[in-house]
Structure 1
């Protein structure tokens, strides 16, 4: 059931500011002040959109819930796939460690590799929405464009895997104030991360691992990539170098790697993941 959009306090304040500025101009109080206020407001909203972990533009899941923290859960999220060369190896690494992950998949890639998408689900993981085409101009799309882009991915993933996404991650984490009403209308929760390894641009797996492990704490949401993956100097995808060591660290520190859906209900089990 679709829920009515509930704007964030910052969006409400922005609307009030715009109305106040227009009223001020109409009352002859001086348009330079009104324009200055509106420009400053737009600058704040723009900065918020460029800050992936910001909550100014709407609900944004940046850390797991308190019950998940109590259960020593950490969520590993893997973006931009599925990739036919890398994703099967990622699945094998996760299997070997008895870990679950959340794959934020691009709808177009799911369309191109439906069997691989279904294999992700079969292995006990979850696939969530990462837009249909991961367009570089996603954050400046209009309302209708955003709705079509996200809805198309939602449809492709649901029809291919039999599971409807409940989480969404914006391409590169960038967004505009228009994203929140679209996500609310589709019953999707925006998810960012606690820490990332920058494994799409790095070449040193040690530095990527260090970024992910530094300050690692229960409830963290970690970001890696199986699509658009950065490569080591030897030509191996960074995620394949980093993930086994990261999982060893989690195990040594008493953490359990679970999917976002499992973390949302720590008493749940993987029974029903493949149902």
Structure 2
């Protein structure tokens, strides 16, 4: 858990009050100060404009840093109470070719995972989502359409996109998601208030393997296992999975390596809702 998460964080599931982070509060103060300065002395406009621009750049940088908590709560590791557990999270599915093979691999290792599913893909392949749940895994919210301009969307658009996925995934999986992961991990200051209103918590990762870009499963596994430790949240993909030289999705070999390493170190695999909100799991 990053430093901003050390305070007590409400369990996911119920709407909660949004509280601006120091960065957001500071940016608001800069904007207010700029307006006051301009009203008092229009000649100060270069300084006022410079302050506003700097605050926007800081907010943009925070949104481009997926593991940042500068814009709001962000789970990057499991809480200390998780002990010797890790969370495997799998994004961008379901995929009719890859996801069933990932499920079989997880079964072979008696492992559980969290699948961040795209609403439209879930609607296209509902039986796979049902199978994910039937095998003991969790289904969470990865937006309805996985738009590339997600981080540029305003509050109303964000709410429509996330709420649509909540409805889609809740209907198919039988339980509404408790966690949200932004497409590509990118976001803006409007996201956290929306998540608070919907009772969702943002979850990113400890490390990722870049398995949508890299066709070398061994390299993907090394990235995931470099510094591998209890309470890690690892990111892989069943959707948009890269393929190796033989046409095999690299997620399969990389995930197998991670599961073997976890077994060797005595780490148990848990879903995010089991680790972070055990009463709701």
Q: Same fold (TM over 0.5)?
A: yes
Find the aligned partners of 2:178 and 2:15 in 1 and give their Cα distance.
Answer: 12
Find the aligned partners of 1:98 and 1:217 in 2 and give their Cα distance.
Answer: 19
Find the aligned partners of 1:46 and 1:265 in 2 and give their Cα distance.
Answer: 30
Q: What does the per-residue CA deviation read over 1:59-104, in whole Å, with 9 as the maximum and x for residues that have no partner?
A: 1111100111x2x000000000000100001000001101000000
1:114 counterpart = 2:126: yes
Aligned ranges 1:44-59 → 2 under 5 Å:
44-59=58-73
1:64 counterpart = 2:94: no
Find the aligned partners of 1:245 and 1:52 in 2 and give their Cα distance.
Answer: 25
2:8 paired residue number: none
2:269 paired residue number: 257
Aligned ranges 1:137-216 → 2 under 5 Å:
137-216=149-228
1:4 paired residue number: 17
Q: What does the per-residue CA deviation read over 1:213-257, in whole Å, with 9 as the maximum and x for residues that have no partner?
A: 010111110000000111111111011111111100110011111
Q: Pick one of 14, 30, 33 that aligns with 2:47.
A: 33
2:36 paired residue number: 23
SS of match in other structure, 2:87 = strand
Q: Pick one of 70, 73, 78 that aligns with 2:85.
A: 73
Find the aligned partners of 1:119 and 1:149 in 2 and give their Cα distance.
Answer: 24
How much has 1:8 moved relative to structure 2?
1.4
TM-score by length of 2: 0.93
> Which consecutive unaligned segments of at least 5 residues does structure 1 have?
none
Aligned length: 267
Find the aligned partners of 1:170 and 1:228 in 2 and give their Cα distance.
Answer: 16
Structure 1 stretches of at least 4 aligned residues deviating more than 3 Å after TM superposition: none
SS of match in other structure, 1:136 = coil
Find the aligned partners of 2:114 and 2:168 in 1 and give their Cα distance.
Answer: 17
2:7 paired residue number: none
1:230 paired residue number: 242
Find the aligned partners of 2:205 and 2:15 in 1 and give their Cα distance.
Answer: 25
1:221 counterpart = 2:233: yes
SS of match in other structure, 2:172 = helix
TM-score by length of 1: 0.95
How much has 1:7 moved relative to structure 2?
1.4
Find the aligned partners of 2:181 and 2:15 in 1 and give their Cα distance.
Answer: 19
How much has 1:265 moved relative to structure 2?
4.9
Q: What does the per-residue CA deviation read over 1:166-188, in whole Å, with 9 as the maximum and x for residues that have no partner?
A: 00000000001111111111010
RMSD over aligned CA atoms reads: 1.2
